[in-house]
């Protein structure tokens, strides 16, 4: 495996997941209602929960208490985050892979998979197709292969930033790729990435070994667990963690995610920027065991409990989930979703509306267009946002400052969300979405106090409507 084998582990790498301890926290009878309510109250004070406290919420089984957890998650989302939802779309660069993860259509033993890596020209065309419909944020996705080394990833990032089309461009490029070493992350960071995202898949050592064969790079649990610490050591201070739900007990995975978030906070002084919680989907060439399948009710619970446990971390809900469920669980504290996503290599220009299983990693649940998703969000009273301001102004790492600095959201986030929405409405929206958007913008302006901030915002939106000026942010 050449390049892969020569990457260096960090001497400080530590395995902070104790399976027996976490499983022990989940055992035993359901907690008393008072104990659950006390923990919910702590969370509503915006204090992050300990792993032990999260376990208490996970063990609550009474319907009444579960409803209280949902209500608290809704309230925290409303009070802390407001009604913004950030939108992005993934861009699959290449599906060569040396690993053999049992659940993934890209696994090396899947001979039916059509292997492909975008050429620079194809990459440009994919980005143009995304920009043409209004995307501003993307995450580049790669299999794990010596050809996708740090220099290659950095180069792809630069190519994406170079694409300009009309008023559009991609303003934030995130990465979902295999773990690198510190030196590799430095290279990728220097290319101007936003978040580096790596999912642990499962935090449970036994399940991890079962799904990721020994002898493969991904079979090394600690190499992966420590991956985002190496990224942070290299200066990538926006990192995204995640677990692939369906490989082990969903409650164990929630404890794993919360342990990881607390570990990063403790070791690096900054927690993860985002948490993802993809559910396992059918994939070509895989035979999925449904023992740990997470049903919709459990899925809602895990999102609500994550919201309460890590109040300052963004939660990402992907298009793996069907549209109706996405709409329902959004209210529990999701802050980012992808929309109009195509995950076949070349899918933004070639696939049409059909999904081609042999060419994609797994099957998507929501393949509606960006415009359609935008309209639904607007009709539901959300402000869809393409804002990329914080990371471009160096406000990275300490995600919690959005909430800790008084007035940050009102002064910066909401105006930035509205100006990026205005750009979308003027440049890309269908007539119906534009009407829905203008209605929402008017309602949001109505809520704002008459002050210089509002005057400036109204003026910026006018410039977007009446001139060629774009990308106005605070
Ligand atoms: N190859 C790199 C890795 O494994 O980290 C990067 C990206 S991989 C293409 C992106 C993520 O897709 C994986 O981390 C995994 O969680 C998820 N994934 C793989 N197979 C899936 C499936 N059948 N259903 C849902 N998500 C899946
Ligand atoms: Fe390769 Fe990633 Fe799929 Fe595993 S999840 S087979 S590493 S692309």
Picking from 274, 269, 270, the residue whose alpha carbon sits closest to that of residue 257 is 274
- Distance between CA atoms of 44 and 215, rounded to whole angstroms? 45
Please give the distance, rounded to the nearest whole angstrom, from the Cα atom of residue 361 to the centre of ligand 1: 7
What is the tens place of the pLDDT at every residue in 216-261?
999 999 999 999 999 999 999 899 999 999 999 999 999 999 999 9
Please give the distance, rounded to the nearest whole angstrom, from the Cα atom of residue 446 to the centre of ligand 1: 43
Please give the distance, rounded to the nearest whole angstrom, from the Cα atom of residue 106 to the centre of ligand 2: 6
Whose tokens are 């002898």? That residue is 215
Token couple for 183: 């030196």
DSSP state for residue 225 in the 8-state scheme: H
Please tell me the number of the ligand nearest to residue 357's CA. Answer: 1
Token couple for 169: 């461009």
Give the angle subtended at the CA of 231 by the CAs of 204 and 100, to the nearest 5°: 45
Structural domains in the chain? 2-17+77-394+396-401 (3.20.20.70), 407-466 (no CATH)
Q: Whose C-alpha lies nearest to ligand 2, atom 2? A: 143
Residue of 148, 149, 244 to mutate, ligand 1, most atoms within 8 A of C-beta: 244
Pocket of ligand 1 (CB under 6 A): 103-104, 141-144, 176-178, 198-199, 201, 244, 278, 280-281, 283, 320, 361-362
Helix (H, G, I), strand (E, B) or coil at 142: strand
Picking from 52, 130, 54, the residue whose alpha carbon sits closest to that of residue 343 is 130
- For the whole model, what pTM was predicted? 0.95
Give the angle subtended at the CA of 404 by the CAs of 399 and 410, to the nearest 5°: 90
Residue of 153, 199, 218, 285 to mutate, ligand 1, most atoms within 8 A of C-beta: 199
Q: Are 66 and 56 in contact (CB under 8 A)?
A: no
pLDDT of residue 406: 57
- Distance between CA atoms of 300 and 298, rounded to whole angstroms? 5
Q: Whose C-alpha lies nearest to ligand 2, atom 6? A: 107
pLDDT of residue 33: 97
What is the tens place of the pLDDT at every residue in 43-90?
999 899 999 999 999 999 999 999 999 999 999 988 777 889 999 999
Picking from 303, 426, 447, 278, the residue whose alpha carbon sits closest to that of residue 361 is 278
Evaluate the CA torsion angle 426, 432, 436, 439 in order and state its sign. positive
- Distance between CA atoms of 422 and 436, rounded to whole angstroms? 12
Picking from 220, 274, 253, the residue whose alpha carbon sits closest to that of residue 399 is 274
Atom of ligand 2 nearest to the CA of 108: 6
pLDDT of residue 1: 44
Evaluate the CA torsion angle 77, 80, 84, 87 in order and state its sign. negative
Low-confidence stretches of the chain (pLDDT beneath 70): 1-6, 351-359, 396-409
Q: What is the rounded end-to-end Cα distance, in angstroms, of the chain?
A: 46
Q: Are 271 and 265 in contact (CB under 8 A)?
A: yes
Token couple for 101: 């993860």
């Amino acid at each position: 495996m050449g390049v892969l084998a020569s990457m260096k582990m960090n001497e400080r790498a530590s395995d902070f997941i104790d399976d027996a301890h976490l499983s022990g926290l989940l055992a035993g009878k359901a907690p008393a209602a008072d104990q659950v309510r006390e923990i919910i109250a702590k969370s509503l004070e915006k204090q992050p929960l300990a792993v032990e406290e999260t376990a208490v919420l996970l063990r609550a089984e009474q319907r009444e208490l579960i409803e209280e957890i949902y209500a608290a998650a809704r309230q925290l989302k409303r009070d802390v985050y407001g009604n913004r939802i950030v939108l992005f779309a993934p861009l699959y660069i290449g599906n060569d892979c040396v690993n053999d993860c049992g659940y993934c259509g890209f696994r090396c033993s899947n001979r039916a998979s059509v292997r492909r890596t975008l050429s620079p020209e194809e990459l440009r065309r994919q980005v143009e197709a995304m920009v043409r419909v209004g995307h501003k944020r993307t995450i580049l996705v790669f299999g794990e292969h010596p050809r996708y080394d740090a220099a290659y990833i950095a180069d792809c990032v630069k190519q994406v930033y170079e694409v300009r089309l009309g008023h559009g461009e991609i303003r934030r490029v995130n990465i979902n790729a295999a773990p690198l070493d510190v030196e590799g992350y430095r290279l990728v960071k220097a290319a101007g990435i936003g978040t580096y995202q790596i999912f642990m898949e499962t935090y449970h050592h036994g399940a991890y070994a079962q799904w990721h064969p020994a002898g493969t790079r991904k079979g090394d649990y600690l190499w992966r667990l420590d991956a985002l610490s190496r990224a942070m050591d290299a200066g990538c201070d926006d990192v995204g963690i995640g677990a692939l739900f369906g490989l082990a007990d969903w409650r164990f995975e929630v404890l794993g995610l919360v342990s990881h978030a607390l570990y990063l906070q403790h070791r690096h002084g900054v927690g993860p920027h985002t948490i993802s919680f993809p559910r396992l989907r059918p994939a070509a060439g895989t035979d999925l065991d449904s023992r740990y399948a997470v049903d919709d009710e459990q899925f809602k619970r895990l999102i609500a409990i994550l919201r309460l446990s890590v109040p300052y971390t963004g939660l990402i809900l992907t298009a793996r989930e069907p549209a109706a469920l996405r709409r329902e669980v959004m209210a529990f504290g999701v802050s980012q979703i992808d929309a109009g996503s195509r995950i076949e290599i070349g899918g933004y220009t070639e696939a049409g509306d059909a999904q081609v299983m042999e060419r994609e990693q797994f099957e998507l649940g929501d393949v509606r267009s960006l415009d359609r998703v935008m309209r639904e969000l607007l009709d539901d009273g959300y402000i869809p946002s393409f804002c990329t301001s914080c990371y471009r102004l160096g406000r990275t790492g300490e995600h919690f400052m959005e909430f800790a600095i008084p007035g940050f959201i009102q002064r910066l986030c909401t105006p930035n969300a509205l100006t990026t929405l205005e750009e979308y409405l003027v440049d890309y929206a269908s007539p119906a979405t534009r009407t829905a958007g203008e209605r929402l913008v008017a309602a949001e302006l109505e809520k704002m106090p008459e002050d210089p901030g509002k005057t400036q915002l109204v003026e910026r939106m006018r410039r977007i409507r009446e001139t060629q000026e774009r990308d106005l942010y605070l």
